[in-house]
Amino acid sequence: MFYTLTANPAVDMTVSCPPLVPNENIRSFSASYTANGKGLDVSFALKKFGVDSVALGFFAGFTGKYVVDETMNMGCLCRPVWIDGVTRINSYFNDGQSEHGILNPGPAITPQNEQELFRILDSTGDLDCLIVSGSLPPKASKDFLDKVVAHAQDRGADVVLDLSSDKLKTLCSTHPLLIKPNHHEMREIFGVQIDTDDDARRALALAHEAGVQNVLLTMGSRGSAYFSNGEDIWYAKREFNIKLVSSVCAGDCTLAAFLLKWYKDRDNVEESLKLAMATGANVAESVGLGDFGHVDEYSKRVTVRKLPR
Ligand SMILES: O=P(O)(O)OC[C@@]1(O)O[C@H](CO)[C@@H](O)[C@@H]1O
On the question of pLDDT at 162 being above 90, the answer is: yes
CB-based burial of residue 91 (10 Å sphere; 0-12 exposed, 13-18 middle, 19+ buried)? middle
Task: From 1, 220, 289, select the one nearest 130 (Cα to Cα).
Answer: 1
CA of 6 to the centre of ligand 1 (A): 9
On the question of pLDDT at 213 being above 90, the answer is: yes
On the question of pLDDT at 299 being above 80, the answer is: yes
One fold for both 1-132 and 163-309? yes
Reported CATH class of domain 1-132: alpha beta
Cβ-count burial 168-180 (b if 16+ within 10 Å, e if not): bbebbebebbbbb
Q: Is 252 a catalytic residue?
A: yes
Domains of the chain: which residue ranges?
A: 1-132, 163-309
On the question of pLDDT at 164 being above 80, the answer is: no
pLDDT tens digit string along 35-51? 999 999 999 999 999 99
Could you identify the atom of ligand 1 that is nearest to the CA of residue 252?
Answer: 12
CA of 180 to the centre of ligand 1 (A): 14
Q: Centre a 10 Å sphere on the Cβ of residue 308 and count the other Cβ atoms it contains.
A: 7
Q: Kindly write down the DSSP assignment for every residue of 154-208, as one continuous string.
A: HTT-EEEEE-SSTHHHHHGGG--SEE--BHHHHHHHH----SSHHHHHHHHHHHH
Single pTM value for the model: 0.96
Nearest residue (CA) to ligand 1, atom 1: 135
- The answer to whether ipTM exceeds 0.85 is yes
Could you identify the atom of ligand 1 that is nearest to the CA of residue 92?
Answer: 16
Q: Per-residue pLDDT averaged across 186-191, rounded?
A: 92
Q: Per-residue pLDDT averaged across 275-288, rounded?
A: 95
**Banded model confidence at residue 227, pLDDT cuts 50, 70, 90:** very high
CA of 102 to the centre of ligand 1 (A): 10
Give the C-alpha separation, 278 to 294, whole Å: 8
- Which CATH number describes the domain made up of 163-309? 3.40.1190.20
pLDDT value of position 165: 74
Contact 176, 161 (CB under 8 A): yes
CA of 32 to the centre of ligand 1 (A): 16
Give the C-alpha separation, 251 to 232, whole Å: 22
Per the residue annotation, which of 84, 252, 291, 296 is the catalytic one? 252
Residues with CB under 6 A from ligand 1: 8, 10, 12, 36-38, 41, 90, 103, 134-135, 164, 248-249, 251-252
pLDDT value of position 244: 87
In whole numbers, what is the pLDDT of the chain averaged over residues? 96
Cβ-count burial 185-221 (b if 16+ within 10 Å, e if not): bbeebbebebeeeeebbebbbbbbebebbbbbbbbee
Half-sphere exposure of 53 (CA within 13 A, CB side): 29
